[in-house]
Amino acid sequence: MKRKLVCAIIGMTMAASLLAGCGGSSDTAATDETAAEEEGAEEEAPSGDVITVGYAQVGHESDWRMANTQNYYDVFSAENGYDLQLIDCDNDNAAQIEAVRSFIQQELDYIVIAPIETAGWDTVLQEAEDAGIPVIIADREIDADNYDAWVGTNTVNEGITAGNWLGEYLDGADANILVIEGSVGASATLGRTEGFDSVLAEHPEWTKIDQQSGDFTQSGGQEVMESFIKSYEGQFNVVVCQNDNEAYGAMDAMDAAGITYGVDGDVIIISFDATHDGLQYTLDGKINCDVECNPIQAETVAEVIQLMAAGEEYPESTLVDDEAFVAPGIESAYATTMTQEILDGRAY
Ligand code: GZL
Ligand code: ZN
């Protein structure tokens, strides 16, 4: 409550100073004001106008992440009235905490965090609160609750959608499943695993043979798939990749081993993110099902910041919606069948 009050006061003060700047009280003052305004017009907008934002970004591990980063640069631009500091924390927790501390030391107006891991946030969030800087958690989730707003996706639901689609597709047939998980400790990994496993539990004819982290990267997906092939060749018919880049690596490894996959192959591939290339592979029938996780979140975060700056009520939690896509020839109650038009119309 305290922080929102502080935020409201900042908002009002700023609004008041802007109003005072615009309309002088007497003619003379008005004339001086107008002259001063004209003369000053080409200078920097008064500091109150520019909103400084720090974004502690996970890293650059995947196409999804790059699309998310570009989206922040597009939205939090100078012409839109922002000064954005985006720090790529390269999947390093300690570096991410330090990035947030640097935002606090610079007394930025707002801090946005896409947390690499769910754990370890209490202390630095307390420091931001003590400094009166609102914090928005974006994309993923954390164990702590001392932040002001959250904008992200429901990865548990994404896992459930993947499982429900597989159940519909297999229609009672056995499944021997390998899972290439995302980065250890990331809420996207934990959520997708929790959701998929909740459906797995409903299917006694399914077996999860093994799971290993591919760290949301293509090289990680390839390495894990190569080791899975060594251990389990001929024993599996489903590979769940917790993001598209891991799926690309897994396909490379299966190609090298002469293992077929996709709608005409021996192995079903389920992926997550539904990035452009992931949906191209889905359209080509190489990926059977790609569950979307929408990286275009900066507009929503900016709306929350504008409301905070204006001292108005703002949503403490905003879910960015996703859907799922399946290869041509597959009809599903849980996913949209891919077409070229869908691919051409995608924002990322
Ligand atoms: C999901 C996001 C994940 C993507 C990966 O919300 O955090 O991180 O699924 C990315 O591609 O690396
Ligand atoms: Zn079943």
Going from the Cα of 64 to the center of ligand 1, the distance in angstroms, rounded, reads 6
Question: H/E element holding 111?
Answer: strand 110-113
**Is 324 strand, coil or helix?**
strand
* Closest-approaching ligand to the CA atom of 173: 2
Cβ of residue 243 lying under 6 Å from some atom of ligand 1:
yes
| pLDDT one-digit tens code per residue, 248-278 | 999 999 999 999 999 999 999 999 999 999 9
Quickly list DSSP for 7-34: HHHHHHHHHHHHHHHH--SSHHHHHHHH
Tokens encoding 116: 């690499």
**b/e code 231-252 from CB counts within 10 Å (16+ = b):** eeeeebbbbbbbbbbbbbbbbb
- Dist CA 152 CA 345 (whole Å): 22
Q: Select from 60, 62, 246 the residue to mutate for testing ligand 1; criterion: most ligand atoms less than 8 Å from CB.
A: 62
Question: H/E element holding 178?
Answer: strand 175-181
pLDDT at 308: 97
| pLDDT one-digit tens code per residue, 8-26 | 333 444 444 433 333 333 3
Quickly list DSSP for 248-301: HHHHHHHHHHT--BSTTSSBEEEEEE--HHHHHHHHTTSSSEEEE-----HHHH
CA distances from 248 to 110, 212, 234, 294, 328 (A): 36, 16, 20, 19, 19
Cβ of residue 206 lying under 6 Å from some atom of ligand 1:
no
Question: H/E element holding 57?
Answer: strand 51-57
pLDDT at 48: 58
Cβ of residue 62 lying under 6 Å from some atom of ligand 1:
yes
Q: Select from 63, 64, 88, 242 the residue to mutate for testing ligand 1; criterion: most ligand atoms less than 8 Å from CB.
A: 64
Going from the Cα of 176 to the center of ligand 2, the distance in angstroms, rounded, reads 12
Cβ of residue 88 lying under 6 Å from some atom of ligand 1:
no
Going from the Cα of 163 to the center of ligand 2, the distance in angstroms, rounded, reads 10
Cβ of residue 273 lying under 6 Å from some atom of ligand 1:
yes
CA distances from 341 to 279, 291, 325 (A): 11, 18, 13
Which atom in ligand 1 lies closest to the alpha carbon of residue 245?
Answer: 11
Going from the Cα of 194 to the center of ligand 1, the distance in angstroms, rounded, reads 16
Cβ of residue 65 lying under 6 Å from some atom of ligand 1:
yes
Going from the Cα of 336 to the center of ligand 2, the distance in angstroms, rounded, reads 22
**Contact (CB, 8 A) for 176 and 210:** no
Going from the Cα of 216 to the center of ligand 1, the distance in angstroms, rounded, reads 7
* Closest-approaching ligand to the CA atom of 61: 1
Q: What percent of the chain has pLDDT over 70?
A: 86
* Closest-approaching ligand to the CA atom of 292: 1
Q: Which residues contact 210 (CB under 8 A, 6 or more apart)?
A: 178, 179, 228, 231, 232
| pLDDT one-digit tens code per residue, 280-331 | 999 999 999 999 999 999 999 999 999 999 999 999 999 998 999 999 999 9
* Closest-approaching ligand to the CA atom of 175: 2
Query: Burial level of 201, CB count in 10 A (0-12/13-18/19+)?
Result: exposed
Cβ of residue 82 lying under 6 Å from some atom of ligand 1:
no
* Closest-approaching ligand to the CA atom of 58: 1
- Dist CA 75 CA 162 (whole Å): 31
Nearest CA to ligand 1 atom 8: 65
Cβ of residue 72 lying under 6 Å from some atom of ligand 1:
no
- Dist CA 348 CA 67 (whole Å): 6
Nearest CA to ligand 1 atom 1: 188
User: Does residue 147 come out as left (phi exceeding 0), alpha (psi in the -120 to 50 range) or beta?
Assistant: beta
Digit-by-digit pLDDT tens for the chain (348 residues) are 334 444 433 344 444 443 333 333 333 344 444 444 444 444 444 445 899 999 999 999 999 999 999 999 999 999 999 999 999 999 999 999 999 999 999 999 999 999 999 999 999 999 999 999 999 999 999 999 999 999 999 999 999 999 999 999 999 999 999 999 999 999 999 999 999 999 999 999 999 999 999 999 999 999 999 999 999 999 999 999 999 999 999 999 999 999 999 999 999 999 999 999 999 999 999 999 999 999 999 999 999 999 999 999 999 999 998 999 999 999 999 999 999 999 999 988
- Work out the mean pLDDT of the chain and round it to a whole number: 90
Going from the Cα of 163 to the center of ligand 1, the distance in angstroms, rounded, reads 18
pTM: 0.86
